[in-house]
Amino acid sequence: MKYDLKNLFDPITLPNGVSLKNRIVMAPMTTCCGYYDGTVTQELIDYYRVRSQNLGAIIVECGFVEHRGLAFPGAIGLDSDDRIEGLSHIAQAIKAQGAKAIIQIYHGGRMVDPKLIGGQSPVAPSAIAAPRPNSPTPIALSAEEVDEMIDKFGQATRRAIAAGFDGVEIHGANTYLIQQFYSPNSNQRNDKWGGNRDNRLRFPLAILAITKQMAKNYANDKFIIGYRFSPEELEVPGIRFDDTLYLLDKLAIKGLDYVHFSMGATLRPSIVDTRDPTPLIDKFIQQRSPALAKIPVIGVGNVVNKSDADQALTHGYDMVAVGRAYIAYPDWADRIKEQQTLSLSINSDQRVALHIPEPLWRFPLVDSLIRDVSNHAKKFKAGQYQETVSDDNQNEFVINVELGNDFIKNMTLQNADRLDPTTITHFNEIKDRIVTANSPYVDAISGATSQCEAFKKAVSKAMSKSNKAAILAEGGNPDEKAVDIVVIGSGGAGLAAAIQAHDDGANVMIVEKMSIIGGNTNKASAGMNAAETQFQQKLGIHDNKELFYNETLKGGKYKNHPQLLKYFVDNAPNAIEWLDEKGITLSDITTTGGMSIDRTHRPASRAAVGGFLISGLIKNINKRDIDVMLETTATEIRMENNQVVAVQIKNEEGNIQTIKTKAVIVATGGFGANPQMITHYRPDLANVVTTNHKGATGSGITLLQHIGADTVDMGEIQIHPTVEQQSAYLISESIRGGGAILVSKAGKRFVNELDTRDKVSHEIRSLPEQFAYIVFDHQVRQENKAVDEYLAHDLIVQAETIEQLAEKLAIDSHGLATTIARFNQFVTNQHDDDFNRKTALRHPINQAPYYAIQIAPGIHHTMGGVTINTHTEVLDRQQQPIKGAYAAGEVVGGVHGANRIGGNAVADIIIFGIQAGTQAAQYIKNH
């Protein structure tokens, strides 16, 4: 049976009056990503955040209502008020882009494995085991315990409301407890909760009643209540389709906002009457009662492409829930809208880029989608290696690492009997991540970073020993290694240089002193500046390189090196293309301070550019099998006959090794995290917080100085105006570029927010309080995903009105309201009468909620560094090239002059990183 086609992207209004922006719902899927105690992890928050764009609602995986209710490991809980804060971050992450956040409430009943609940027996309506192999016999709930269970569902709803969810989905499917009460197979009670169908119906109706009561008491009439159901059971006796229609009719009469099929395919026919090919949705539409016909119905199962969704809608579904396709494609709705044809598969190197938590990556739901694209592995001598490591609190861990010939086989914690249960849980989680990734370089567990780094270090040490043993076994010398080019530093410049040099035929190795790849690039947030790009042209932005050059020169106070700046400007669009060719597309465009035109390129998702960039570059490094040595310090660049011949390195254990090489590319960043160097060149900046990662110590500058490199502009140190002082978290310039304003304690603007960083910083430091607030509304938040990060780190004050915001900030309410009203008028007139702001007058600040972050300047960028020419050759004090020495990125001086424009650093590292790779590869061919 076919019905008039509903448009997938049309809004839909639920019975309670809530409007969803379209008919797309992300289906609830088990992720196994909660902590062992049911609390929320950061990676779970991030998983939902990146999937929250351009869909009607996300239904979060089921939250168990009591400790005996979790049906799978890593489940999240709604069983305690302690869960509310963590769950609120999930709700906020989803709602940030306008999607509705709904969470399932459930109890596993007899489907719970006793191992998950401390060896206890599960509970159920009756003491009848599920008809499945090795199923435990549950304990039947007493009448009093049934009443208590209903209350637990109610309390779970209250907690969902307190956490900020827009609704709950009562999970009456998948043979869990609610379905068990309705099923004649699992419910064989002889009290009011069992027996005939109407008695078995009492429990789901009671759950709906208490859910509605909690919504009435603690939410408003817009709180969404849905019900998920499995239409049939195979068991005899069991639920049949007419039983389901009877149940749903009674629920519909009491009031629901939607019902949700739980099936493997939207058009699945009966699993009981296998001779009838009629899709159950067709029977549902034909046979449903008038009350049920008023309730929207969601279909789920095997929806990958738009044709799948459209087919479901033509059969009568009002909304479509998308499951595995949303794991593989976090931007599924956008792709479908663009008429892309998708295949349900995930490359094995895409986990981090797709924000798929490690436990979900191993779950059969996802594992079946993974395509192995890895073709490289480090060679080990198989065996066990015992390592002793410690965390920052001097807790000692003795770890056995078992290695195969080319893979990490297992890890065991030898002194587990002397450690607390939480530590053991963390170890087991990290072990699983490492073994699955076949790498020690995996994400740490939030809140246990130091322990995790210790565990990972044990594996790194074992791998190093094993690799040396394998080389020795083959008759080689592990302390002798030779490559064409050594790249020192793994930020954006180093990675770009390594990729380009490899593609130009060189054998490349990257040396990184930190334990993770990315350096300061990981912290970059705004974007990458470039003029005359294809993406500007597509958006109708008319820009030119001459204007870009002049604005950068002016921003740098005319101290920029003219030839370097010209090369920078001329090659910026080529660098954008270079990234795009490598799958790193920066197609959305905004602006930053000092620019008069939108030329700051960022991901289409409007996410922070740094993590996006590093993730993409790492993928390219992995594809090329470029060796990266982490926690390894370059201690000396060796010269013979005035040219580079080797790099001496030292690992964390102090072992020294010499790498023979023909060329070196130094891309170690600046010295913003080196207080001694900062105060040496700028005593006035002593004790100012820094936004830099702790590895930005100027070590590359020192290395190059030892071989005769000259330096320039070492006293030019930029402070960024918008830094949250307690966390040293940089608040992206794209927030101001998106339309935010800066106000003082008096609630007044005091500067052109889009002026250059040095000027804005000066004005903040000139205020009596020496700090300010960046103020914006929901429109700015929607356009800048970085705001979600700030919320997740509790950096933001939020309110529903301007007056409430002022009260929370303890600033003058009238002053703030007057300031915003005046600014809004400037936006209407497109002219800033007070400070002559000409850019980012995008829209008035008038959409609740309203946000503010207290900020002050912090050390951000060191414009000074070694001198280079446009070939990125390092110059000596006579301005002659040092043969075989190249440099790119913040380690270099002269590009930015006395002040760096926001968005120019990312351009700098990619433009000159590519050039360094090209020139170094050409040099070794000629020598």
User: pLDDT at position 37, please?
Assistant: 66
**pLDDT tens, 725-768?**
998 888 988 899 899 999 999 999 999 999 988 899 999 999 99
102: DSSP letter: E
What is the number of other CB atoms lying within 10 angstroms of the CB of residue 110? 27
**Overall pTM > 0.75:** no
Query: Going along 162-282, which residue ranges are E strands?
Result: 167-172, 224-229, 258-261
Q: How far is CA 586 from CA 338, 519, 583, 596, in A?
A: 18, 20, 10, 19
For 511-542, how does the pLDDT look when each residue is reduced to its tens digit (9 = 90+)? 999 877 889 998 888 899 999 999 999 999 99
Over residues 439-462, mean pLDDT: 75
**C-alpha span between 299 and 318 (Å, rounded):** 8
In eight-state DSSP terms, residue 76 is: E
Can you tell me the distance from the alpha carbon of 107 to that of 65, in angstroms, rounded to the nearest whole number? 6
For a pLDDT cut of 90, what percent of the chain falls above it?
70
Average pLDDT over residues 119-145: 90
How far is 389 from 423, CA to CA, in rounded Å?
Answer: 14
- For 641: left if phi > 0, alpha if psi spans -120 to 50, otherwise beta; the answer is left
Contact 866, 709 (CB under 8 A): yes
CA dist 391 and 756 (Å) reads 42
The pLDDT assigned to 5 comes to: 60
Distances (CA, A) of 601 to 4, 59, 575, 618, 907: 42, 32, 11, 20, 10
The residue with greater pLDDT, 448 or 378, is 448
Q: Burial-class residue 118 by CB neighbours within 10 Å (0-12, 13-18, 19+).
A: exposed
Handedness of CA 600, 602, 607, 610 (dihedral sign): negative
Contact status, residue 860 vs residue 691, Cβ threshold 8 Å: yes
- Nearest alpha-carbon partner for 528 in 616, 600, 590, 613: 600
Say whether domain 383-473 belongs to CATH 3.90.1010.20.
Answer: yes
Burial label for 216, CB within 10 Å (0-12, 13-18, 19+), is exposed
- What is the per-residue pLDDT for 36? 61
pLDDT-derived band at 4 (thresholds 50, 70, 90) equals low
Q: Which of 252-266, 642-656, 874-888 has the lowest mean pLDDT?
A: 642-656
Give dist(CA 694, CA 633) in Å, integer: 14
Q: Of 149-158, 230-239, 349-358, give the lowest mean pLDDT range.
A: 349-358
Where in the chain are the domains? 12-369, 383-473, 485-669+695-714+863-926, 731-859
For 783, other C-beta atoms within 10 Å of its C-beta total: 20
State which CATH number among 3.40.309.10, 2.50.20.10, 3.50.50.60, 1.10.3720.10 fits the domain covering 485-669+695-714+863-926: 3.50.50.60
pLDDT tens track for 273-307: 888 999 999 999 999 999 999 999 999 998 999 99
pLDDT at position 437: 63
Q: What is the mean pLDDT of the chain?
A: 91
3-state helix, strand, coil in the chain (%, to 5): 35, 20, 45
Confidence bin at 481 (pLDDT 50/70/90) = confident
Whether 12 contacts 56, CB under 8 Å: yes
Cβ-Cβ contacts under 8 Å for 130 (sequence gap 6 or more): 110, 111, 175, 186
| Burial (CB count within 10 angstroms: exposed 0-12, middle 13-18, buried 19+), residue 372 | exposed
The alpha carbon of residue 132 and the mean position of all alpha carbons in its chain are separated, in whole angstroms, by: 39
757 is catalytic: yes
**Selected catalytic residue, list 68, 433, 757, 837:** 757
Return all residues near 575 (Cβ < 8 A) that are at least 6 apart: 528, 530, 907, 910, 911, 914
Q: Residue 833 — φ and ψ, nearest 5°?
A: -70, -25
**865-912 pLDDT, tens per residue?**
999 999 999 999 999 999 999 999 999 999 999 999 989 999 999 999
Identify residue 642 by its one-letter amino acid code.
N
> 754: exposed, middle or buried (C-beta count within 10 Å: 0-12, 13-18, 19+)?
buried
> What angle (nearest 5°) sits at the alpha carbon of residue 362, between those of residues 356 and 366?
65
**Token digits of residue 394:** 């001097």
Strand-by-strand arrangement of the 528-529 sheet: 528-529, 600-602, 588-590
Element spanning 693, H or E = none
Range with the poorest average pLDDT among 4-8, 80-84, 306-310 = 4-8
Phi and psi at residue 102, to the nearest 5°: -120, 140
pLDDT value at residue 375? 37
Please determine, for residue 2, whether its predicted confidence score (pLDDT) is greater than 60.
Answer: no
Q: How far apart are CA 508 and CA 664, in angstroms?
A: 10
Find residue 60's DSSP bridge partners: 103
pLDDT of the residue at 408: 84
Dihedral, CA of residue 495, residue 497, residue 502 and residue 504, to nearest 10: 150
Architecture in CATH for domain 12-369: Alpha-Beta Barrel (3.20)
Of 784, 339, 847, give the one whose Cα is nearest residue 588.
784
Q: Which of 296, 303, 375 is nearest to 342 (CA)?
A: 303
258-267, 427-436, 476-485, range with greatest mean pLDDT: 258-267
Nearest to 677 by CA among 710, 728, 716: 716
Residues of the chain above pLDDT 70, percent: 96
Residue 446 reports pLDDT greater than 70: no
pLDDT class of 859 with cuts at 50, 70, 90: very high
Q: Provide the token pair at 99.
A: 């999607």
Rounded average pLDDT over 670-687 = 93
Q: Which residues, 6 or more positions from 248, have their beta carbon under 8 angstroms from its beta carbon?
A: 227, 229, 259, 288, 292, 295
Interatomic CA distance for residues 604 and 628, integer angstroms: 29
The predicted model gives 490-516 an average pLDDT of 94
Contacts 24+ apart (CB under 8 A), 250-254: 250/201, 250/205, 251/204, 251/205, 251/208, 251/227, 252/289, 252/291, 252/292, 252/294, 252/295, 253/291, 254/205, 254/208, 254/209, 254/212
Give the fold, CATH level 3, of 731-859.
Answer: Flavocytochrome C3; Chain A, domain 1 (3.90.700)
